[in-house]
Structure 1
């Protein structure tokens, strides 16, 4: 996947709109009953960055970013201000936020994930773009300062020595969403005061 490990300007993404999308097929019977089938196992996020543009300099920054990514060609990092932490938005990061695996005595690599739960149901999201310097780990609740590394381009944690059988492996982290522009055209408008705007800047999550 063609991807640039650079993040869209935070001051503009903070004012954007968007969130998760699901794809569900619904067949309605003659009786009025429905049959529903989820076409996607995982959600996919969409955003519109145009709502974050507040001044001409923002417009120039987006245009430069768009040109450097060659439109839709290269993916990039995006901070979803509504969902960028392993824990609750109001809480500080903790090494016990998310369970990412259980020790087997042999496995040394584990994927960062975030679990979304409501009642008895949950969905686990693979985190591939953790933010450098934010990842913390714990084994059975005890923080691990060393003995591990994390690949910030894949979200894979590697231990120098395999955690023992049955050991709970948890992590705390901030993360970005891998996205790309969903257009090859920026429709820019300049008014009489030379203040610019763009009608829409659609972005879509990229999945490998």
Structure 2
């Protein structure tokens, strides 16, 4: 996958609009009842970052970023300010935020994940773009400052020695969303003061 490990400007992404979407097929029966089926097992996020442009310099930064990514060709990191931590956005990550596995004495690699739960139901999201310097690990609730490493491009945590059987492996972290531009064109409008604007700058989450 063509990907640049660079993050879209934070000052612009802070004003973006968007979030998760799902694909559901709904069939209405003759009785008026309906059947619903999920076409996607996982959600996919869409954003429009044009809302974050407030100055001419912001517009110039977006154009430069777009050109450097060759439009839709290269993916990049995006900070979703509404959902970028292992727990709620207002709380600093803790090493016990998310359980990423249970030791079996053999396995040394574990994927960072985030669970979304409500009303007894939950969905688990694989986290691939961890932010460097933010990942914390605990075994049975005890923080582990050493003995492991994390690949910030894949979200894979690797232990020097396999955690023993039954040990709960938990993690806290911040993360970015892997996205790409969803258009090969930017429609730039210049007003009289040359402040400029772009009607829409769509981004789409990249799923492997």
TM-score range, shorter chain: over 0.9
Partner-residue secondary structure (3-state), 1:60 = helix
Cα displacement string for residues 116-170 of structure 1 (whole angstroms, at most 9, x for unaligned residues): 0001100000000000000000000000000000000000000000000000000
Query: Runs in 1 of length 4+ with deviation above 3 angstroms?
Result: none
* Matches of 2:88 and 2:77, distance apart in 1: 21
1:2 corresponds to 2:2: yes
RMSD between aligned residues:
0.4
Pairwise CA distance, 1:100: 0.1
Match of 1:197 in 2: 197
Q: Does the 8 Å contact 2:188/2:199 carry over to 1?
A: yes
Match of 1:11 in 2: 11
Structure 1: runs of 5+ lacking an equivalent: none
- Work out the number of aligned pairs and report it: 208
Partner-residue secondary structure (3-state), 1:61 = helix
Structure 2: runs of 5+ lacking an equivalent: none
Partner-residue secondary structure (3-state), 2:35 = strand
* Matches of 1:32 and 1:78, distance apart in 2: 42
Q: How does 1:78-93 map to 2 (within 5 A)?
A: 78-93=78-93
* Matches of 2:93 and 2:15, distance apart in 1: 23
Pairwise CA distance, 1:110: 0.1
Match of 1:150 in 2: 150
TM-score between the two structures when normalised by the length of structure 2 = 1.00
Match of 1:163 in 2: 163
* Matches of 2:196 and 2:47, distance apart in 1: 20
Pairwise CA distance, 1:89: 1.7
Relative to structure 2, which stretch is displaced further, 89-98 or 39-48?
89-98
Cα displacement string for residues 91-126 of structure 1 (whole angstroms, at most 9, x for unaligned residues): 121000000000000000000000000011000000
Match of 1:112 in 2: 112
Q: How does 1:1-208 map to 2 (within 5 A)?
A: 1-208=1-208
* Matches of 1:181 and 1:90, distance apart in 2: 28
* Matches of 1:66 and 1:48, distance apart in 2: 14
Pairwise CA distance, 1:178: 0.1
* Matches of 1:186 and 1:20, distance apart in 2: 23
Pairwise CA distance, 1:88: 1.2
